[in-house]
Amino acid sequence: MPELRQDPLSGRSVIIAESRAARPDQFSGRSETDVVVCPFCPGHEDLTPKASAVYPVGCNDDRWQVRVVPNKYPAVELNASGDRGEAAIGVHEVIIESRTHVTSLAEVSANEAELTFFAYRDRLRALSKDQRLDYGLIFKNARVDGGASLEHTHSQLIAAATIPTDVQCELAKAGEYRMLHGRCAYCDLIDGELGGARHVSETASFFSFCPFGSRFPYEMWVLPKEHCESFENVSDSGVAELAQLVRRLIRTLETKLDAPAYNYWIRNAPFRLSPHDDFHWRIELTPRMTRLAGFELGTGCFINPVSPEHSAAQLRAVVAEVV
Amino acid sequence: MPELRQDPLSGRSVIIAESRAARPDQFSGRSETDVVVCPFCPGHEDLTPKASAVYPVGCNDDRWQVRVVPNKYPAVELNASGDRGEAAIGVHEVIIESRTHVTSLAEVSANEAELTFFAYRDRLRALSKDQRLDYGLIFKNARVDGGASLEHTHSQLIAAATIPTDVQCELAKAGEYRMLHGRCAYCDLIDGELGGARHVSETASFFSFCPFGSRFPYEMWVLPKEHCESFENVSDSGVAELAQLVRRLIRTLETKLDAPAYNYWIRNAPFRLSPHDDFHWRIELTPRMTRLAGFELGTGCFINPVSPEHSAAQLRAVVAEVV
């Protein structure tokens, strides 16, 4: 049973989830012999738990394009009970982004990309109604150095009963900013970055740039230009527009960097914001060119060998060429 | 020139150090052709900047066993000046742990291990006298997944003009604990862990265990049993005893795990503690079996598939057999 623990000296949270040690790993030495059948490919639906959602909505196993299933090796569980620590209560799902066995969101069809982002929003909407759950994280690990253990392109959703400490800190800072300046910190950030040295790309409703404090080379953030607290609130047309932009940004990375490992995640608001809280969701997307090593683990500070200004200039040169 | 930046939304620090992009990488695809000469091997002393210390003290190039040199690709510099951010002021050194081209502290001689730890203490002592510097981190990245770019076993020291935010938080917590309980939080932690389910090994002066909130499988901490704020204060006999214990713990990991990538770092006090501050240094040592991926980057929370209780039980079974 997964357990949530806090380090008493730092306040840092960890989830101890021993069932995850049993999960298959297509990239380890074992892979070629152990994992010959891809559990995410069509025809193997019986290798995953029953789907919690399929897209197009209501279609059968012959026609799904995106499929959401409970994670067989969950980091959190609704019926978890703590042994030495607190129970790690929550829901852990996998979003299979394509019927085709490809390894990146860059390679799925435009339609599959859209349905994937609809799945993100709809599953967050559904889980946000569960009063036991307070926060939902959508994240994607692509390729070995991105932390993927299965090749077939997929993302994950972990909805948990606790709000991550990092999100709590950010909420406090955003609330403070609103109190001091009477405005949203993120809206002001966008105003300052649009058209500047770190600007990468924009669409009618979304803006992408390399953040001033980038941890990684070519790290990019995507924000809605209009103030929007929660990802659950994005409109249908917004979801479709965002999916195409994110797919294009990943294609840009893959054109520039030769099939890099990458991660993205949605820094979302908690499911229920209190009245004095402020937030403005974003996607953080980064290739994994550098490793988090002794310095990062020992200080919490990151060393980034490519400035966001240089990253953005290089990305701008590529993004216009990419469909 | 390296720059220190803060992300305005999270307060997270990053160092933008573009000169580091130029450093050689023996583990990349380029390695076999580009880096044929090891700059850390005897006879190649002219490939590194002039040594800031050698051990045995005062010996010449024919006889050094441990050699400390300025990092050719520094993440911080004493004469740094900020362009868009603050200047990342500091000193970045490399501690070459052996004359022999081996890839782990487990493979150096007992004497080289001791001299390496003397180098750690002595360089921290020397740099702590520089009023421009406030904090010194010793860290080691071993093997590719540990973040090493050169194979020859070495560690690093980054002394900087700022105290990492994580250390500031820990200082505040330790100070609070002292106020509330009248005792040192770390001494109490040791009392609670000695002989318990997470106990790994002990010597006359040091204690090693898997922490309750372990981020990684087989993560271990080493603390001095007697209260000791700064690593600079460790006695000569303590340094020698500690070096042998850490070498033994790494040998234990290598016996159990087949030459794993690993990191260790010294979580040390700032160079000048204020009177109401409390601290008790430790070494954090971990193999890198799991990857920091989207979930960890998106929440700051870690998922660990092996509990510290199971890790410690397995390590205890091996450590007794290892010299």
Q: Residue A207 phi/psi, 5° resolution?
A: -135, 135
User: How does pLDDT run across A86-118, given as a tens digit for each residue?
Assistant: 999 999 999 999 999 999 999 999 999 999 999
Q: Is residue A35's pLDDT more than 70?
A: no
**B165-319 is a CATH 3.30.428.10 domain:** yes
| CB nearest to B14's CB, from A137, A165, A304 | A304
CB pairs under 8 A between A and B: 227
Query: Does residue A70 have a cis bond before it (omega within 30 degrees)?
Result: no
Name the residue among B233, B231, B230, B237 with its Cα closest to residue B203.
Answer: B237
Q: Give the model's pLDDT for residue B35.
A: 57
CB A189, CB A208: distance < 8 Å? no
CB A272, CB A134: distance < 8 Å? yes
| Contact flag B213-A297 (C-beta cutoff 8 Å) | no
**What is the homologous superfamily of the domain B3-160 according to CATH?**
HIT-like (3.30.428.10)
**CA–CA–CA angle A142, A143, A147 (5° rounding):** 75
Reported ipTM: the value is: 0.95
Report the residue of chain A nearest B210, measured CA to CA: A7
Q: Give the model's pLDDT for residue B233.
A: 97
Q: Give the model's pLDDT for residue A28.
A: 60
User: How does pLDDT run across A196-243, given as a tens digit for each residue?
Assistant: 999 999 999 999 999 999 999 999 999 999 999 999 999 999 999 999
| Contact flag A14-B173 (C-beta cutoff 8 Å) | no
CB B252, CB B318: distance < 8 Å? yes
Please identify which residue in the block is written with the tokens 């499929």: A67
Q: How far apart are CA A108 and CA A5, in angstroms?
A: 38
CA atoms in the 13 A half-sphere facing the CB of B10: 23
| CB nearest to B164's CB, from A75, A189, A300 | A300
Report the mean per-residue pLDDT for chain A. Answer: 94
| Contact flag A8-B213 (C-beta cutoff 8 Å) | yes
CB A266, CB A229: distance < 8 Å? no
| Contact flag B170-A295 (C-beta cutoff 8 Å) | no
Q: Is residue A31's pLDDT more than 80?
A: no
pLDDT category, B31, cuts 50, 70, 90? very low
Q: How far apart are CA B75 and CA B18, in angstroms?
A: 8
Q: Among A3, A6, A9, A222, which would you mutate to test the B interface (most chain B Cβ atoms within 10 Å of its Cβ)?
A: A9
Q: What predicted TM-score, i.e. pTM, was given to this entire model?
A: 0.95
Residues of B in contact with A19 (CB under 8 A): 305
Q: Give the model's pLDDT for residue A106.
A: 97
| Contact flag A300-B11 (C-beta cutoff 8 Å) | no
Cα distance from A36 to chain B (closest Cα, Å)?
22
Cα distance from A295 to chain B (closest Cα, Å)?
6
Tell me what percent of chain A is helix, strand and coil, each rounded to the nearest 5.
35, 20, 45
Q: Give the model's pLDDT for residue A102.
A: 96
Q: Give the model's pLDDT for residue A211.
A: 98
Strand A13-16, strand B302-304: pairing: parallel
Report the mean per-residue pLDDT for chain B. Answer: 94
Cα–Cα distances in angstroms (integers) from residue A323 to residues A174, A257, A306, A318, B29, in the given order: 35, 16, 25, 10, 29
Cα distance from A225 to chain B (closest Cα, Å)?
17
Cα distance from B267 to chain A (closest Cα, Å)?
7
Mean pLDDT of A300-314: 97
Residue A138 tokens, joined: 């959508």
Q: Is residue B191's pLDDT more than 80?
A: yes
CATH 3.30.428.10 positions along chain A are 3-160, 165-319
Q: Give the model's pLDDT for residue B27.
A: 65
Q: Give the model's pLDDT for residue A166.
A: 94
CB B262, CB B249: distance < 8 Å? no
A117-149 as b/e, with b when 16 or more CB fall inside 10 Å?
A: bbbbbbbbbbbbeeeebbbbbbbbbbbbbbbbb
Q: Is residue B29's pLDDT more than 60?
A: no
| Contact flag B295-A156 (C-beta cutoff 8 Å) | yes
CB A248, CB A188: distance < 8 Å? no
Mean pLDDT of B43-71: 95
